[in-house]
Structure 1
């Protein structure tokens, strides 16, 4: 298992104005930028998200930043504390297991229904094309030995799963699922960095899902999907067998707090020192 060392960086070293594009509203863009940085663990738990500071980085007003933070709070990626500000939420195993349950029910039900309904030849070709692209991308990343830059893999994986809901005409359910699995994605990213789950099985698992759908076998399709995404019991077993994961998660959740406490202690000691000098 890999060993991780988390580094505290100022937010202007994590996001910058060049992250903004001309596509989509400012709120949507800021939401997406911060969401991605929280999920890929660039932004540590308890990191302050100051509206004024973020607005200054993007050279915009505070209003779209505030709206983006509210959306992130609804995803449970940010906690907004009255009179204290907004902070990156800690990684939560409870929330992760809840998301696993939700995802299992929605995605398992989706592929089972698709198998009953059937998919067109065009949809079959599209799914096979996505799997082929995944396979090629995995080979490229393996050759480059890039373990941390999984953005393209994540994107194409999302395309595969989103397509299943699209073929069923249930994109609303996909959006609901996408919001709920944000916390799940943070845990999965941490597991990936630690080397707990191997990406090489993705191609085989996606292929089995598609084959079961094409064969019009709802039970096999649902079982293949559950095996692929992992049910709650499986995920609990994987995590319990990897105690370093819990240690890394705790370190990730506590790092900023520990530094803040040290800074507060230093300020307090400095004040005491000044006070004593004034007495003497």
Structure 2
């Protein structure tokens, strides 16, 4: 299957009410394990990929190393791969476009692209983030791919008090509309937990809605019923695996 075919296949998996489930991976080995378990597509988690190499999250992992990992994953599995690309390792549109092109060349068929200022404070203004998304879309068009740009807004992660989320939803929806017009393929709202707000967002947003599994978020079956089209597990699988390794090793060393 060509990369363009994989990109289209990945896009087609995003269906409201019948979401694609992404049990996020961090290297070629975890990619093979998740593929063998029956996944229809693969997606990295930035925290997981960085942590597996001894780095912190927030683009601390060198871009060259991320590119190498993406190449290894796509060489290991024929499944479509989306890369959690944080802020695309660039602030300006030209840098965004250049780095998106690198992920495409490495074999990715999509990215998560967030609107928080990585290494800075707050979120990019809507117009600025829209320019960045447009640059990513232009890079995809240059490559001739129906590349899936999962535009992430960090509004709900920046304010984790769920009591404040009803007053933030209008801004989140406004960002979603602007990002869609700029060329996004889907909208990612990590940190959104309320079933009522998730349903409202899924109904208001024309693009597929992505929700992150975390404490107090509805179960996948309920998210599907709410109209969600993509469900991500983020760094959870990697954290659970590292906790298991630590527990197993601690038991061994205690018994010595």
**Structure (1 or 2) with the larger CA radius of gyration:** 1
Query: TM-score, normalising length from structure 2?
Result: 0.26
Higher helix proportion (structure 1 or 2) = 1
Query: TM-score, normalising length from structure 1?
Result: 0.25
